[in-house]
Copies of this chain bind each other. A is one copy, B any other.
């Protein structure tokens, strides 16, 4: 698999739910890309035994992390420790693109 990855080449749209794709899969971590159009939502869910990190690449989302709810825009890191419920809604007019790391990786 390539060691140099441009996420823009993998961006996309899914009008049904939201777009997700895997950018890289290692032995210890999975790297993915999620693209949410305006008003699309990743419903609150939790990963038992896996930490999840979002990095906001573009746009602006309203994140839920446990009991906390807060907006984050491009350049922000949002962290959901293992077991903590998390989700996000695109509250802006432009696309919300998220780099997502899950460790240990999903195989």
Q: Could you tell me which residues of chain A, from 63 to 107, have a CB within 8 Å of some CB in chain B?
A: 63, 65-66, 68, 70, 72, 75-82, 99, 101, 103-105
For A51, list chain B residues within 8 Å (CB): 26-29
Taking residues whose C-beta sits less than 8 angstroms from the other chain, chain A's interface range is 35 or more
Number of copies: 2
For residue A10, give the distance in angstroms from its CB to the closest CB of chain B: 10
For A46, list chain B residues within 8 Å (CB): none
Q: Is the CB of A82 within 8 A of B28?
A: yes
- Label chain A's interface by main secondary structure: strand
Q: Could you tell me which residues of chain A, from 29 to 83, have a CB within 8 Å of some CB in chain B?
A: 29, 31, 49-51, 53, 55, 57, 63, 65-66, 68, 70, 72, 75-82
Q: Is the CB of B28 within 8 A of A79?
A: no
A55 to B8, CA, bound (A): 13
| A16: Cβ under 8 A from any B Cβ | no
